[in-house]
């Protein structure tokens, strides 16, 4: 990290960083909130098309990804507890598990999108055009919202890797682990957004 | 507070030696004061560009027909003028410059809660600005949608929209991080004894602004992302030919962009609330009423966005609901005006340049506010929508409001920031020229709008010639005023007379530290026992 030119001592306030993180999570929720508004308006305008389009999605893959994210939320929460207990090895193992699950989610997503695309269901495709406006909007929202969510997962992967490195180097340790806690909060947010996306796209038919 | 002899040894924030030398001592500094000045220089540079664009547009409009530019260039000019003025200047505006510099000092802290994040905000700001400006020189030519990026044109125009929209998204992110930083700073770092109701009004206004930044900006952020997806992937959110609804874009855009007006004006009101009691040498009238109206404006301001869309097509219920809410938001603004005027009542006023800026702020803000009610009323709106009346109203509020308050704050805090006095004679001449130019430029636009002159055209019919001559003439006076004010301030910052710690007799905390303040502001964190404007 770059050093500050000037400030000889950076003042440390874990409570402040936690409030900051909560505020950031709040803005993220509003970001997705805008999309949920768009979703509900178009669903209201095209109820039948949205129902039929939702049938095209693979509930099994969606459920698998939901389970994966829920478990990963658990592992990262446990890593914070392990850190509080001073168990560095276990912390790293649990963070590693979270990382693995995040990657599994992305692999799943890759195959899911791939099969949709090979079937000709992607923005601007001939097939969607034949299906009509409702389906076009449904799949437009599907790719945009799950894509934005997947982007958050990728960012999470980068952050978790960075935290693992810092735990390994003991820059994050049992008396200074606000970074780990905030990463956990971020990951729960990613999980939470998925909990809304999953029923809206896969289950509500 | 008495002079502390150890103070003179502490080098000022302008002088201390850090890790880096030269320009790097600034652009990598996490000191809130240096970051404030980074914003000041950047905003000033962009402002000069934006003002010249404005001047050129007024020269085009000085007579009917093509004078110096054709329609496409004119469209590009008003788009770039709007993007620069809105996203690069008035939205960061007072919070980024004076908020950064004075928020920590006024609440008795050594810095903001997250100094590194603060520096990141500035870098994001510069990066966003760079991305926006690349749109001018690459791709299909300068964007021509206006700063509102209305769908469906924004994804159909062949001009280079992507960098403009992406840049605006990045700038929004920078704004969110600044707001977040200030909120946490105010929650966690107030000096001992400074309860919420012992906090000065400028920090209060930054607090309310921070919340607006946090709550409103993400919506426009995701909307801009949707425009990007629309252009690149052809998704159809707002494209009627794919089932999307362009009106929905307008809703999402104004859900942010109306509250954004309060991001611009609340800190301006906060600065005015600092200037007036200092020069009236009197406690501010209705301290708590001002706070309550600040919070009320921030809150009600969320529910009025529909007034930008009265002619776009909405249900009757929506129309009059938005109209009545727009009228309601005028009440807390008026409360503030009454408070400022009552503060001046029977005061022995110290007439100085910052005070002139403050009273002229009240004057132009009132004209802007009243004309806002004319636009907020349904019947008159239909006639005035998209005419020069809107341009006049908008500039009276945004340029008149934010601009006058910014320059008032600049003169007020100038001795503290640079440790030097500005030349008072030239400052007054600059203010007067600016004020006359401002009224001459924007005043006739009210008339032109009522007469029916539409906005955003490079040409007009002969009937509108008279008003436009006056208005274009005013733009020259205004530019002269801007030139005088900026030249005077820059010259004084370099070679002005040395200023005292407290030249105006202010009693908020920034006047209790040396001018310019040392790196960590306070030798010892102050213990606050009195109210912020307790002149007794
Ligand atoms: Cu508005």
Q: What ipTM was predicted for this assembly? A: 0.89
Instruction: Name the residue of chain B whose CA is nearest to A40's CA.
Output: B248
CA dihedral over B188, B189, B191, B192, signed as positive or negative:
positive
Q: Is B234 on the interface with A (CB under 8 A)?
A: yes
pLDDT over 70 for what percent of chain B?
98
B136 alpha carbon – ligand 1 mean position (Å): 28
Rounded distance between C-alpha atoms, residue B504 and residue B431, angstroms: 19
Task: Tell me the CA distances in angstroms from B9 to A141, B16, B515, one per residue in order.
Answer: 62, 11, 13
Task: Note whether residue A88 is domain-resident.
Answer: yes
Q: What is the DSSP letter of B306?
A: G
Host domain of residue A66: 14-203
Say if the Cβ atoms of B214 and A27 lie within 8 Å.
yes
Say if the Cβ atoms of B180 and A133 lie within 8 Å.
no
Which range has the worst mean pLDDT, A185-189, B79-83, B257-261, B438-442? B257-261
Say if the Cβ atoms of B115 and A46 lie within 8 Å.
no
Q: Which pLDDT value is given to residue B5?
A: 40
Give the count of beta carbons closer than 10 Å to the beta carbon of residue B351: 9
Task: Note whether residue A93 is domain-resident.
Answer: yes
Task: Note whether residue A6 is domain-resident.
Answer: no
Identify whether the C-beta of residue B433 lies closer than 8 Å to the C-beta of residue B484: yes
Whole-angstrom distance between the N-terminal and C-terminal Cα of chain B? 16
Residue of A10, A124, A144 with shortest CB distance to B115: A10
Q: What are the pLDDT tens digits along chain A (205 aa)?
A: 333 334 444 567 888 999 999 999 999 999 999 999 999 999 999 999 998 888 888 889 999 999 999 999 999 999 999 999 999 999 999 999 999 999 999 999 999 999 888 888 888 788 888 888 888 899 999 999 999 999 999 999 999 999 999 999 989 888 889 999 999 999 999 999 999 999 999 988 6
Residue of A30, A41, A144 with shortest CB distance to B229: A144
Rounded distance between C-alpha atoms, residue A199 and residue A205, angstroms: 9
Considering the domain B13-512, what is its CATH architecture? Up-down Bundle (1.20)
Q: How far is A18 from chain B (nearest CA, A)?
A: 10
Helices (H), B237-345: 246-280, 287-300, 316-344
Mean per-residue pLDDT for B172-199?
Answer: 94
Rounded distance between C-alpha atoms, residue A182 and residue A204, angstroms: 32
Instruction: Name the residue of chain A whose CA is nearest to B241's CA.
Output: A133
Q: Which of residues 250-269 of B touch A (CB under 8 A)?
A: 252
| The model's pTM | 0.92
Q: Which pLDDT value is given to residue B9?
A: 58
Task: Note whether residue A5 is domain-resident.
Answer: no
Match 């125009």 to its residue by tokens: B157
SS3 B106: helix
User: What's the total number of domains in chain A?
Assistant: 1
Question: Which of B36, B108, B242, B253 to probe by mutation at the A interface, max A CB count within 10 Å?
Answer: B242
B274 alpha carbon – ligand 1 mean position (Å): 26
Say if the Cβ atoms of B226 and A136 lie within 8 Å.
no
Task: Note whether residue A7 is domain-resident.
Answer: no
Task: Tell me the CA distances in angstroms from B321 to B79, B80, B303, B327, B377, one per residue in order.
Answer: 31, 33, 9, 10, 11
Taking only the tens place, the pLDDT of each residue in B19-57 is 777 888 888 999 999 999 999 999 999 999 999 999 999
Q: Which pLDDT value is given to residue B130?
A: 95
Q: Which pLDDT value is given to residue B376?
A: 94
Q: Is B218 on the interface with A (CB under 8 A)?
A: yes
For ligand 1, an ion, list residues with CB under 5 A. B 258
Residue of B19, B110, B236 with shortest CB distance to A137: B236
B3 pLDDT tier (thresholds 50, 70, 90): very low
Q: Is B382 on the interface with A (CB under 8 A)?
A: no
Say if the Cβ atoms of A27 and B248 lie within 8 Å.
no
Task: Note whether residue A9 is domain-resident.
Answer: no
Instruction: Name the residue of chain A whose CA is nearest to B255's CA.
Output: A34
- From the number of C-beta atoms within 10 Å of its C-beta (0-12, 13-18, 19+), residue B153 rates as middle
Rounded distance between C-alpha atoms, residue B307 and residue B246, angstroms: 17
Residue B311's nearest CA partner among B238, B252, B381, B380 is B381
Say if the Cβ atoms of B29 and A5 lie within 8 Å.
yes
* Long-range contact set of residues B63-70: C-beta below 8 Å, sequence gap at least 24: B63/B465, B63/B468, B63/B469, B64/B459, B64/B460, B64/B461, B64/B462, B64/B464, B64/B465, B65/B459, B66/B458, B66/B459, B69/B458, B70/B458
Taking only the tens place, the pLDDT of each residue in B382-436 is 999 999 999 999 999 999 999 999 999 999 999 999 999 999 999 999 999 999 9
Whole-angstrom distance between the N-terminal and C-terminal Cα of chain A? 49
Q: Which pLDDT value is given to residue A10?
A: 58
Identify whether the C-beta of residue B82 lies closer than 8 Å to the C-beta of residue B146: yes
Q: Which pLDDT value is given to residue A23?
A: 95
Q: For residue B499, report the phi and psi dihedrals to the nearest 5 degrees.
A: -100, 155
| CATH label of the domain that carries residue A131 | 1.20.120.80
């Amino acid at each position: 990290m770059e050093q500050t030119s000037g400030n000889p001592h950076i003042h440390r306030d874990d409570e402040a960083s936690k409030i900051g993180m909560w505020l950031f999570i709040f803005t993220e929720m509003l970001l997705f909130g805008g999309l949920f508004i768009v979703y509900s308006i178009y669903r209201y305008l095209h109820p039948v098309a949205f129902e039929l389009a939702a049938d095209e999605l693979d509930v099994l893959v969606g459920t698998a990804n939901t389970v994966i994210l829920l478990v990963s939320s658990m592992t990262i929460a446990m890593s914070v507890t392990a850190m509080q207990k001073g168990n560095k090895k276990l912390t790293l193992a649990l963070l590693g598990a979270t990382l693995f699950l995040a990657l599994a989610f992305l692999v799943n997503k890759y195959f899911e999108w791939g099969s949709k695309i090979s079937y000709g269901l992607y923005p601007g495709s001939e097939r969607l055009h034949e299906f009509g406006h409702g389906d076009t909007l449904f799949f437009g929202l599907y790719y945009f919202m799950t894509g934005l969510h997947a982007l958050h997962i990728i960012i999470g992967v980068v952050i978790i890797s960075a935290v693992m490195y810092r735990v390994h180097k003991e820059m994050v340790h049992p008396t200074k682990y606000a970074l780990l806690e905030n990463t956990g909060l971020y990951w729960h947010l990613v999980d939470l957004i998925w909990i809304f996306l999953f029923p809206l796209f896969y289950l509500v038919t | 507070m008495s002079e502390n002899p150890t103070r003179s040894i502490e080098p000022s924030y302008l002088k201390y030696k850090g890790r880096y030398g030269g320009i790097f001592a600034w652009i990598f500094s996490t000191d809130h004061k240096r970051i404030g000045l980074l914003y000041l220089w950047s905003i000033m540079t962009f402002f000069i560009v934006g003002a010249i664009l404005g001047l050129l547009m007024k020269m085009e409009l000085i007579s009917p027909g093509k004078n110096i530019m054709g329609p496409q260039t004119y469209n590009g000019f008003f788009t770039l003028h709007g993007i620069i003025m809105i996203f690069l200047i008035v939205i960061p505006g007072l919070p980024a410059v004076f908020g950064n510099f004075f928020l920590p000092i006024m609440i008795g802290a050594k810095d903001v809660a997250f100094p590194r994040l603060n520096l990141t905000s500035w870098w994001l700001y510069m990066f966003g600005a760079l991305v926006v400006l690349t749109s001018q020189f690459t791709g299909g030519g300068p964007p021509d949608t206006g700063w509102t990026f209305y769908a469906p044109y924004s994804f159909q125009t062949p001009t280079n929209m992507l960098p403009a929209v992406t840049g605006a998204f990045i700038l929004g992110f920078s704004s969110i991080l600044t707001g977040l930083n200030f909120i946490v700073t105010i929650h966690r770092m107030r000096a001992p004894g400074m309860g919420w109701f012992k906090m000065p009004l400028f920090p209060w206004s930054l607090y309310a602004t921070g919340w607006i930044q946090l709550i409103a900006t993400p919506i426009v952020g995701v909307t801009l992302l949707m425009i990007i997806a629309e252009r690149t992937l052809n998704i159809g959110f707002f494209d009627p030919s794919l089932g999307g609804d362009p009106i929905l874009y307008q809703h999402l855009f104004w859900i942010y962009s109306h509250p954004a007006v309060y991001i611009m004006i609340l800190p301006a009101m906060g600065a005015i609330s600092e200037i007036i009691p200092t020069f009236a040498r009197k406690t501010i009238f209705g301290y708590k009423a001002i706070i309550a109206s600040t919070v009320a404006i921030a809150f009600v301001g969320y529910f009025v966005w529909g007034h930008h869309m009265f002619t776009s097509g909405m249900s009757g219920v929506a129309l009059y609901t938005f109209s009545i809410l727009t009228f309601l938001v005028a009440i807390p603004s008026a409360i503030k005006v009454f408070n400022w005027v009552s503060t001046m009542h029977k005061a022995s006023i110290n007439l100085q340049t910052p005070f002139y800026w403050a009273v002229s702020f009240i004057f132009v803000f009132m004209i802007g506010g009243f004309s806002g009610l004319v636009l907020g009323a349904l019947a008159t709106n239909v006639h005035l929508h998209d005419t020069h009346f809107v341009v006049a109203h908008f500039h009276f509020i945004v340029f008149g409001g934010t601009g006058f308050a910014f320059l008032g704050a600049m003169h007020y805090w100038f001795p503290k920031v640079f440790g030097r006095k500005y030349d008072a004679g030239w400052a007054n001449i600059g203010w007067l020229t600016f004020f006359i130019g401002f009224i001459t430029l924007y005043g006739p636009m009210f008339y032109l709008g009522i007469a029916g002159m539409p906005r955003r055209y490079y040409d007009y019919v002969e009937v509108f010639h008279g008003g436009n001559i006056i208005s274009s003439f005013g733009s020259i006076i205004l530019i002269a005023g801007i030139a005088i004010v900026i030249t005077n301030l820059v010259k004084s910052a370099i070679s002005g007379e040395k200023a005292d710690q407290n030249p105006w007799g202010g009693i908020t905390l920034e006047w209790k530290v040396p001018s310019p303040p040392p790196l960590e502001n306070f030798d010892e964190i102050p213990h606050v026992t009195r109210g912020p404007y307790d002149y007794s």
